[in-house]
Amino acid sequence: MSHDSTAALSYLQEPKGLKSWLLTVDHKRIGIMYLCAIMFFFFVGGALAVILRTELLRPERILMDADTYNQFFTLHGAIMIFLFIIPSIPAALGNFLLPLMVGAKDVAFPRLNLASWYVYVFGALFCLYSIISGAVDTGWTFYAPYSTTTSTSVISMTLGVFILGFSSIFTGLNFIVTIHKLRMPGMTWFKMPLMVWGLYATAIIQVLATPVLAITLVLLIMERLMGVGIFDPAMGGDPVLFQHFFWFYSHPAVYIMILPGMGIISEVISTFSHRKIFGYKAIAYSSLGIAFVSFLVWGHHMFTSGQSEIAAMIFSFLTFFVGIPSGIKVFNWVTTLYKGSISLETPMIYALMFLFLFMIGGFTGIMLGALALDVHLHDTYFVVAHFHYVMMGGTVMAFLAGIHYWWPKMFGKMYSERWAKVVAVIIFVGFNMTFFTQFILGAKGMPRRYYTYLDQYQPLHGFSSVGAWVLGAGFMIMAVYFIASFWSKRKVGDNPWGALTAEWETSSPPPQHNFLTDPVFKHGPYDYDKIAVVGDYYKQSGGTKMAEKI
């Protein structure tokens, strides 16, 4: 094999054929397969959201009846959470990048990795089947006792989610072993890129918490099929126990969603500030800190559920601790920006959007963690706005930052930067129109998950719905410029942004086994104070200016 990186065929070019893709054990191809699958479900979940918002344009019926509405918001939630956002960054981007970032040929268990994708698809098919066979209408949380009594297809949906959990555990297990065992020579723990730390913390939660979700869903299925009575007070059970079980997984799951996003932000901010990341160890430890604290706070979802006051006080107190590691990260990112040579490419724009939106999401989370305030705001649009600011304003923006950042590496193609920037603005505007409005709606008392509402809420609901259309339009344009990029003739260099992590040292797209020679750790992932690299992207578009800037 030639040592000239440009001569080697990329992972996209060899081996050829559909079979070589379906039976591949290459983490990059599996990452791409995950990416296709999750983008499909993001489209489905997003379409459901736009339809829901259209229905909510006016209080009276526009598109569907109330029962269908219940099914639609449940499907929107379940699809977005279990089929899109949980696997989005770890399974799609993480799979592609983790071995490249630590300088490995593949993940530790490549076959298990492929199995995780098939398990994901299998679980997804169950979820799709449940849509055909009487879509579930419980909300994505499947709360008992309603979920044990409704006539909709709770079992096939929960079975689907149960299966998806295994896919998540496989990925987590694979990542933990890969990070422990396959780092390139010289890359010690504190020389790993922060994205890898984020994925490590995520993987720990995936392995520790997901089994509890599986137990919960099995109990729910048993309750429905056999009437075991664990959640049924008539038989000595306790429906609040379901919420304990459910949130013991699902609260940490929120951090499965956000932690790898935070990893992306650490990479992007450092690269586009051309500055060594501030407080590396603090960011790394705070990832583990968030992972740990995430297991202690689940009861804050249950303040008004009938949980005891003492438990509520304990959970409220513990919830405030989440603010500490999150705050550490945000301050370190902002300090990295300070006096950096900031260049506003699309990934950086999304990273800055993340900072802004995640802060709003985080602070409103602290508000909801306060006991007295939560009684007023519980189950209102305020909560809906809060978690959309964290999940969409946080994780999805980080995901978008990541996908724009690594797109040239993944496909060797560059999207239209001009269109990407335009879309970033559209998405930012659409997002805030949709969801900031919902903070106001919620504070005014508009309950969530309602099919209709009082006339006084109509102007705000209408504004929010228009925002959703803007947001939807933004994503459609994004899909177009990403697909159009495959026909782009423009060459992308190995290192378009001038970054220092290992994945940029191999060709774009990388060869089948990632590196043509065994990589050795030469410099830290953020040594911008020692090394100045001008990215190929800047060389093509007036690189001298950037070189001077650096």
User: What six digits make up the tokens of 224?
Assistant: 């429905």
Least distance in angstroms from the C-beta of 282 to other proteins: 23
Of the ranges 164-172, 237-245, 413-421, 474-482, which one interacts with other proteins (CB under 8 A)?
Answer: 237-245
| Phi, psi (deg, nearest 5) at residue 380 | -110, 175
317 vs 453, beta carbon nearer other proteins = 317
Least distance in angstroms from the C-beta of 149 to other proteins: 5
Using CB under 8 A as the binding rule, whether residue 244 contacts other proteins is answered as: yes
How many residues bind other proteins (CB under 8 A)? The answer is 31
Least distance in angstroms from the C-beta of 321 to other proteins: 14
- Asked whether the beta carbons of 510 and 409 are under 8 A apart, the reply is yes
Using CB under 8 A as the binding rule, whether residue 238 contacts other proteins is answered as: yes
What does each C-alpha distance from 386 to 55, 59, 109, 132, 222 come to in angstroms?
Answer: 21, 23, 38, 31, 33
181 vs 490, beta carbon nearer other proteins = 181
- At which residue do the structure tokens 């079979």 appear? 19
Amino acid of residue 45: G
67 vs 527, beta carbon nearer other proteins = 67
271 vs 319, beta carbon nearer other proteins = 319
Three-class SS of residue 380? strand
| Phi, psi (deg, nearest 5) at residue 64 | -150, 165
Of the ranges 16-24, 107-115, 143-151, 417-425, which one interacts with other proteins (CB under 8 A)?
Answer: 143-151
Q: Which residues pair with 380 in a beta bridge?
A: 447
- Asked whether the beta carbons of 327 and 284 are under 8 A apart, the reply is no
Least distance in angstroms from the C-beta of 312 to other proteins: 8
Binders of other proteins in range 509-538 (CB under 8 A) = none
216 vs 432, beta carbon nearer other proteins = 216
- Asked whether the beta carbons of 94 and 34 are under 8 A apart, the reply is no
209 vs 401, beta carbon nearer other proteins = 209
- Separation of alpha carbons 192 and 285, rounded Å: 13
- Separation of alpha carbons 368 and 363, rounded Å: 9
From the DSSP assignment, how many helices (H) and strands (E) are in the chain? Answer: 21, 0
143 vs 436, beta carbon nearer other proteins = 143
Least distance in angstroms from the C-beta of 209 to other proteins: 8
What does each C-alpha distance from 486 to 10, 268, 403, 409, 483 come to in angstroms?
Answer: 15, 23, 15, 13, 6
Site string for other proteins, 298-337 (x = CB under 8 A): xx--x--xxxxxxx--xx----------------------
246 vs 526, beta carbon nearer other proteins = 246
196 vs 212, beta carbon nearer other proteins = 212
Contacts of 143-150 with CB under 8 Å at 24 or more apart are 143/239, 143/242, 143/243, 143/246, 144/220, 144/223, 144/231, 144/232, 144/239, 144/242, 145/231, 145/232, 145/239, 147/220, 147/224, 148/220, 148/223, 148/224, 148/231, 148/232
Of the ranges 30-38, 279-287, 295-303, 379-387, which one interacts with other proteins (CB under 8 A)?
Answer: 295-303
Least distance in angstroms from the C-beta of 165 to other proteins: 16
Least distance in angstroms from the C-beta of 65 to other proteins: 21
Site string for other proteins, 201-230 (x = CB under 8 A): -------x---x--------------x---
- Asked whether the beta carbons of 494 and 507 are under 8 A apart, the reply is yes
Least distance in angstroms from the C-beta of 145 to other proteins: 5
Residues that bind other proteins (CB under 8 A): 145-146, 148-149, 180, 208, 212, 227, 233-235, 238-241, 244, 248, 295-296, 298-299, 302, 305-311, 314-315
